[in-house]
């Protein structure tokens, strides 16, 4: 059967999605390969990092790499923007300076 219309050519990834395990502030979380660090963090715990000027949690703002609200670090100190970085196996992410 031929498919036409606005969904023609769109493939669902359900069932074909591979997971990766990454560590965030010392806790292992699962994420889907191909999703961003921001998506993985929001899905796993609902926030990305703590606010540097208070106790509030940050969740990203623009989600397209423009606002700079989602910077986190790898455990080795390498900074990364969560909304433009794809998850990878064995990533060790630090989002809270107190960890
Ligand atoms: S959420 Fe704006 S730069 Fe990542």
For the stretch 13-27, what's the b/e string if a residue is b when 16 or more beta carbons lie within 10 angstroms of its beta carbon? eeeeeeebebebbee
* Ligand 1, atom 3, residue with closest C-alpha: 65
Any ligand 1 atom below 6 A from CB of 40: no
Residue 68 Cα: closest atom of ligand 1: 3
Query: Is 29 among the domain residues?
Result: yes
DSSP secondary structure letters along 64-97: SSSS-TTEEEETTS-EEEGGG-B--TT-EEE--T
pLDDT tens figures, 11-46? 555 666 899 999 999 999 999 999 999 999 999 999
d(CA 37, CA 29): 11
In 3D, which of 90, 66, 68, 79 has the Cα closest to residue 58?
Answer: 68
Domain that holds residue 46: 19-94
Query: Is 99 among the domain residues?
Result: no
Query: Is 11 among the domain residues?
Result: no
Query: Is 26 among the domain residues?
Result: yes
Report the CATH number that the domain containing residue 31 is assigned in CATH: 3.10.20.740
Any ligand 1 atom below 6 A from CB of 30: no
Query: Is 50 among the domain residues?
Result: yes
Query: Is 70 among the domain residues?
Result: yes
Task: Give CA torsion, residues 89, 92, 95, 99, to 10 deg.
Answer: 150
Counted domains in the chain: 1
**Ligand 1 pocket mutation pick from 37, 40, 47, 65 by most atoms within 8 angstroms of CB:** 65
Query: Is 6 among the domain residues?
Result: no
Centroid of ligand 1 to alpha carbon of 82 (angstroms): 7
pLDDT at 7: 55
Query: Is 32 among the domain residues?
Result: yes
pLDDT tens figures, 48-96? 998 888 889 999 999 999 999 999 999 999 999 999 999 999 999 999 7
Backbone angles phi, psi at 39, to 5 degrees: -60, -40
pLDDT at 99: 41
The answer, yes or no, to whether residue 5 has pLDDT greater than 80, is: no
């Amino acid at each position: 059967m031929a498919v036409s219309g606005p969904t023609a050519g769109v493939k669902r990834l359900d069932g074909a999605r591979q997971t990766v395990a990454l560590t965030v502030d010392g806790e292992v979380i699962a994420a889907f390969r191909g999703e961003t660090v921001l998506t993985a963090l929001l899905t796993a715990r609902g926030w990305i990092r703590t606010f540097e000027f208070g106790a509030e949690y940050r969740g990203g703002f623009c989600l397209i790499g423009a606002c700079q609200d989602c910077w986190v670090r790898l455990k080795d100190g390498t900074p990364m923007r969560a909304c433009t970085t794809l998850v990878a196996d064995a990533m060790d992410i630090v989002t809270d300076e107190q960890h």
